[in-house]
Structure formats: structure tokens, C-alpha cells
């Protein structure tokens, strides 16, 4: 990370390559119930990212050795489709998708009431259809939405947003160029009702002041995304209100 090439991601007026200001998010669209055969599902369009998540379960956990006697297990699989980026991604699991699957599962386990379903499994599948920076954030958000659509009991919905730093300026919701050529990236998983954190990673360098600013951007953006998630649930279940 950090300063490769001559790409100017933000100009002297604070306008970014895609026309946003430093604190603006990309456009987010969320729809749930997009996969009829799944117990719950959601599609998230976040900028040019497109992610579909599906939830199945709770179901019997197989093989038996993976069952936990006191709670369900959350089996999360994050995968990028080979056509999701300009360079073809080799199909199948790799280290990055394993890492993202694990952090997503850890984030969601903080809110899902797993003790209600001992010895069972809840399967979460996240498929990236189109990637343009911030896929793990869009994936976590989509998975949370799919769990809510499936009626899985949760204490809150997880919203994930990433802010970062380009040319020493903290910006909200990095796009592709900012992610590739910027100096820092701070994705976070937030519980919008309490402001608690369930997921945090950081690449690059941020001093305390910049970290605080990125934190604030993420918290504000999480509230906006949460409102969009609630609207999506109302459209699916509430009719024309």
C-alpha cells in the first residue's frame, strides 16, 4: 500500500476521482429475498461492487465431529467469481477468501443467537459478482441482511464500511484507485444500534487523529447503510407503506 504511481486520487479542492468529497459514501442499493430457494438472501450493490449472500439453516451439522453440543456453528464462505475482476480470479478457495470467510464469521457470531440451535449449522454463502474495492465490507453487510431475511435471531444487524487515507487525507469508503494507491485502509464492522465494533482491520499507517477521523466516517456511514437495510426489509415484508 501507499503512493505507487502518479495517480492523483483527490485534487486540491478535496474532490475525488469519482466526484465525491472526502466524507461521502458511494451509492448503496440493497434488496433481500433475491434467491427464492434459500432461507434468506440479499443483494448489495455498493458503488460498482455487487454481492449476493444466501443463508441456509439452521440445519443438521455434518459431519458429526464439527457439531458443538451447546450452540450452532456459523459456516461462512466468501468467494469471488472468476469474472468479478478484470484479471480472472482462479476458481476455488485461496488464502484471502479463507481470511475473509473467517473474519466475517467472527463478526456475525457476535450478534447471532447461536445457543438457540445446539448441534446445528447455519450456512452463509457470499458470492462477489463484481468487485471494486470494499468487497469484504459489502459481503458482511449482505450476509447480515440475508440472516435477517432468513429469520435467524440476531441482537443487531452488522454494517461494515471502510475508510482510508489517500495523499495524507482521510476519505470515506475507498474506491478501487484509492484502495490500490492509497496509504491506509480501515474496514470496520459496526452494530448500528449500539455503536459497538465486531470487526476491525487496518492496512497502512494512520496516526491517532487520522484513525479517529476514519472511525467517525465509518460510524456515520454505518447509520446511512443501516437505514437502507431497514428500508429493504420493509419493501420485502411491509408492502406499500
Partner 1 sequence: MTGDSTSNESGKGSTLVYPGQRLSADGSAQAGHGVRLIDGNLVAMKTGNMVRSGNTVTIEPLSSRYVPRASDLVVGYIEGMTNNIWFVDIGAAFNAILPMSLAPWKVEFGAVRQHLGIGDAILCRVQEVDETHSSVVTMKGMGLRKLKSGFIEEIPPHIIGKVIGKGGGMLQQLKSLGQSRMIIGQNGRIWIDGELSGMSETRKAMDVIRDTAHLPGLNERVAALATE
Q: Contact positions toward partner 1, by CB under 8 A? A: 39-40, 57-60, 111, 113, 117-120, 147-157, 191-193, 229-230, 233-234, 237-239, 241
- Other CB atoms within 10 A of residue 212 CB: 12
Between 8 and 155, CB nearer to partner 1:
155
Provide, rounded to whole angstroms, the least separation between the CB of residue 74 and partner 1.
14
Sign for the pseudo-dihedral over CA of 97, 25, 112, 186: positive
Between 154 and 200, CB nearer to partner 1:
154
Between 72 and 103, CB nearer to partner 1:
72
Gap between the Cα atoms of 31 and 201, Å rounded: 27
**Per this entry, what is the length of the chain?**
241
Query: In Å, how far from its chain's centre is CA 54?
Result: 14
Provide, rounded to whole angstroms, the least separation between the CB of residue 72 and partner 1.
8
Q: Which residues contact 151 (CB under 8 A, 6 or more apart)?
A: 39, 40
Residue 177: all three cell numbers together:
484507485
Between 27 and 60, CB nearer to partner 1:
60
Gap between the Cα atoms of 126 and 139, Å rounded: 6
**Contact criterion met (CB below 8 Å) for 145 and 42:** yes
Between 112 and 170, CB nearer to partner 1:
112
Gap between the Cα atoms of 216 and 219, Å rounded: 5
Provide, rounded to whole angstroms, the least separation between the CB of residue 148 and partner 1.
5
Provide, rounded to whole angstroms, the least separation between the CB of residue 27 and partner 1.
22
Residue 81: all three cell numbers together:
467469481
Between 41 and 135, CB nearer to partner 1:
41
List the beta bridge partners of residue 51.
44, 128
Provide, rounded to whole angstroms, the least separation between the CB of residue 238 and partner 1.
5
Provide, rounded to whole angstroms, the least separation between the CB of residue 160 and partner 1.
15
Please compute, for residue 3, the number of CA atoms within 13 A of its CA located in the half-sphere on the CB side.
5
Amino acid at each position: 500500500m501507499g503512493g505507487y504511481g502518479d495517480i492523483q486520487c483527490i485534487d486540491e479542492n478535496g474532490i475525488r476521482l469519482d466526484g465525491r468529497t472526502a466524507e461521502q459514501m458511494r451509492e448503496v442499493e440493497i434488496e433481500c429475498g433475491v434467491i427464492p430457494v434459500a432461507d434468506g438472501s440479499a443483494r448489495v450493490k455498493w458503488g460498482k461492487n455487487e454481492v449476493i449472500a444466501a443463508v441456509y439453516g439452521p440445519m443438521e451439522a455434518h459431519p458429526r465431529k464439527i457439531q458443538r453440543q451447546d450452540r450452532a456453528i456459523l459456516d461462512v464462505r466468501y468467494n469471488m467469481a472468476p469474472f468479478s475482476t478484470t484479471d480472472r480470479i482462479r476458481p476455488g478457495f485461496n488464502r484471502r477468501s479463507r481470511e475473509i470467510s473467517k473474519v466475517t464469521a467472527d463478526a456475525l457470531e457476535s450478534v447471532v443467537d447461536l445457543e438457540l440451535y445446539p448441534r446445528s449449522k447455519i450456512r452463509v454463502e457470499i458470492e462477489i459478482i463484481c468487485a471494486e474495492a470494499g468487497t469484504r465490507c459489502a459481503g458482511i453487510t449482505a450476509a447480515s441482511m440475508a440472516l435477517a431475511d432468513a429469520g435467524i435471531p440476531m441482537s443487531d444487524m452488522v454494517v461494515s464500511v471502510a475508510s482510508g487515507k489517500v495523499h495524507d487525507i482521510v476519505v470515506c469508503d475507498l474506491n478501487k484507485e484509492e484502495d490500490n494507491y492509497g496509504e491506509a485502509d480501515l474496514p470496520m464492522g459496526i452494530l448500528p444500534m449500539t455503536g459497538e465494533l465486531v470487526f476491525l482491520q487496518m492496512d497502512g499507517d494512520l496516526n491517532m487523529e487520522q484513525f479517529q477521523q476514519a472511525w467517525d466516517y465509518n460510524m456515520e456511514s454505518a447509520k446511512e447503510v443501516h437505514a437502507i437495510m431497514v428500508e429493504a426489509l420493509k419493501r420485502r415484508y411491509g408492502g406499500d407503506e
